[in-house]
Amino acid sequence: GLYCNATWDRMQCWGYVKAGETAIQPCPTYIRLSNPLAYSRKVCNSDGEWFRHPETNKVWTNYTMCYDHAVVEEHKRVLYMYFYGFSISIALLIISLIIFSMFRQLKCVRVTLHKHMFVSYILTGGLWILYYSLVPMNPEVLLHNPIWCKVLHVLTHYMTVSNYAWMFCEGFYLHALIVIAFTKDKKLLFMCYIIGWVLPIIPTVIYTVLRAIDINEMGDNEKCWTADTTIHWILAGVINASLVVNFIFTINIMRILVSKLRSVHNHETMQARRAVRATLILIPLLGLQYIAFPFKPPPGAPGEHVYAMVTAFIISFQGVFVALVFCFFNGEVIKCFKKLYYRHRLRSSSIRSRGSGSKFGERDTMLRTYDTRDTKCNTQTTHSVTPLNNNQANKNDDSVNHT
C-alpha cells in the first residue's frame, strides 16, 4: 500500500503511517507548558505525503493540544508582572535622569555612571516589553519566523548583557575608589564606557552566529529563537561572571568599611547598623539580589510558578529600587529640591515686597548668594565614595563617612 515515510520532527519520532490516516502519540514530557495527558497528531495525506501547513507549506505536526492551558495562564501572569514592573521602572528612571540633569550640583563622574546605568535599564526594559508583546505572544510571528524577530531577540539580549555590565562598572568604580590610591576619575569613566557599551557586543555576536548556523542541530533557528538552547550560556556566563565579581567587590568593600567603623569608638550596635545600611545601599546598585535565586526549579516542579513570579518581580522592579534609593530618597537630591523651593519662595517674597527697596535689595543679595553655593557634585548624592588627594588612610576615612 501507500505510506508516509518515518520521520523525526525535532520533537518526536513518527513511524510509517498508511495514506489517509492520522498518527497519534502522547505529548512529549519535555515540551514547555506541556500537558502529559494530551496527544499530538500527525496527518498522512492520501498521496502518501505528510500534511503541510497551508501558510508555511512546511511539514507540520499538530501539538496544539499538548499545551496545558492552566500552565499557559500562569506564564501569562509572569509576563504581565514583567510588563508592569518594567513600565513603572522606565517611568521612574526617566524622571530620575531628568532630575540628575536639572541640578548642576549633581554633575560628577558618579552621577554620570548612574545615568548610563539608568539608560541601560530603560533600554533593556523597553526592548523586553517590545519583544514579549510582538514575538512570544504572537503565534503568527512564531509560525512565519521573520528575520526582524531574530534581530529584536539579539538587541534585547545585548542590552541585557550591557545592563549587567553597567552594574559591574558601578562595583568596579566604587571598589577602585576605595582600594586603589590616586585614582583618576576620567580614566575609570572611559574604561566603564568600554565595559558597559562595547564589550557586551563580543558575546552577543558569538551567540548570534552560533545560533544562526544552528551548531547543535536542535532547531535553534526556528520560532524566532524563543526555544531554550545551550548556546544561551554564552550570554549567561558573562552575566554570572559579572555578578560573582561584584559580589567579591562588595565583600572587600564591606571588609574595609567594618575595619574603619571599628576604629571609630562607637557603640557596637551603631556600627552594625551603619554596616548593614551600607550593604543595603550596595545591593540594588550591583545587582546582587540575583545571587539569592541562583537555581531555577525543574519544569513542572511545585515551586516553579512561585520562583518565576518572584524573579520577575525582582528583575522588572529593580529599576524602581535603584531610582528610589539613588535619586528620590537621596539626601543630596532632596537638598537640591529644598534649595529650589527656598529660592522660589524668596523670589515670590521679593516680587511682593518690590515696593520696599531695602527689603528687596536684601532678599536679592540673599538669592545671589544662595545660587552660588554648592556648585560641585557632592559624593553623598550617589551614596558613593570620593577619595581625598593626600593619602590612602584619609581616603578610606572619607569613604566611610560618605557611605
pLDDT digits (tens, 9 = 90+) for 82-138: 999 999 999 999 999 999 998 888 888 888 998 999 999 999 999 999 998 888 777
Other Cβ atoms less than 10 A from the Cβ of 85: the count is 22
What is residue 149's three-state secondary structure? helix
pLDDT digits (tens, 9 = 90+) for 311-331: 888 888 888 988 988 888 888
- The string of DSSP letters for 40-104 reads EEEEBPTTS-B-B-TTT-SB--B-GGGB-HHHHHHHHHHHHHHHHHHHHHHHHHHHHHHHHHH-G
pLDDT digits (tens, 9 = 90+) for 274-302: 655 666 666 666 666 666 666 677 766 77
Crossing angle, helix 392-402 and helix 147-179, to 10 degrees?
A: 120
Q: Which residue has the cell 500500500?
A: 1
Asked whether the predicted pLDDT for residue 265 surpasses 50, the reply is: yes
pLDDT score at 383: 42
Cα separation, 367 vs 353, in Å, equals: 14
Start-to-end CA distance of the chain, whole Å, equals: 82
In this structure, are residues 388 and 394 in contact, taking their beta carbons and an 8 Å threshold?
Answer: yes
pLDDT score at 389: 35
Asked whether the predicted pLDDT for residue 394 surpasses 50, the reply is: no
Using a pLDDT cut of 90, give the percent of the chain over it: 27
Cα separation, 300 vs 225, in Å, equals: 22
Asked whether the predicted pLDDT for residue 390 surpasses 50, the reply is: no
- Which amino acid belongs to residue 149? C
Cα angle value 364/367/373 (rounded, 5°)? 145
Residue 23's H or E segment, with its range, is strand 22-26
pLDDT score at 244: 86
356 — pLDDT class (breaks 50, 70, 90): low
pLDDT digits (tens, 9 = 90+) for 212-242: 887 655 556 777 888 778 888 899 889 888 8
Mean predicted confidence (pLDDT) in 347-356: 72
Mean predicted confidence (pLDDT) in 372-390: 42
Mean predicted confidence (pLDDT) in 367-388: 44
pLDDT score at 197: 95
C-alpha 139, offset from chain centre: 26
Buried b (16+ CB within 10 A) or exposed e, 124-137: bbbbbbebbeebbe
Cα separation, 388 vs 392, in Å, equals: 8
**What are the percentages of helix, strand and coil residues in the chain, rounded to 5?**
65, 5, 25
pLDDT score at 355: 54
Buried b (16+ CB within 10 A) or exposed e, 154-188: bebbbbbbbbbbbbbbbbbbbbbbbbeeeeebeeb
CA-based R_g, the chain, Å: 29
Secondary structure letter of residue 295 according to DSSP = -
Asked whether the predicted pLDDT for residue 192 surpasses 50, the reply is: yes
pLDDT score at 203: 95
What is residue 8's three-state secondary structure? strand
pLDDT digits (tens, 9 = 90+) for 238-262: 988 888 888 888 888 878 877 776 6
Mean predicted confidence (pLDDT) in 374-399: 41
pLDDT digits (tens, 9 = 90+) for 52-80: 988 888 899 988 887 767 777 788 888 89
Residue 109 cell numbers, joined: 563622574
In this structure, are residues 165 and 200 in contact, taking their beta carbons and an 8 Å threshold?
Answer: yes
Mean predicted confidence (pLDDT) in 138-147: 78
Cα separation, 130 vs 133, in Å, equals: 5
pLDDT score at 386: 34
pLDDT averaged over every residue in the chain: 78
β partners of residue 34:
67
Of residues 312 and 268, more confidently modeled: 312
Residue 186 cell numbers, joined: 576620567
391 — pLDDT class (breaks 50, 70, 90): very low
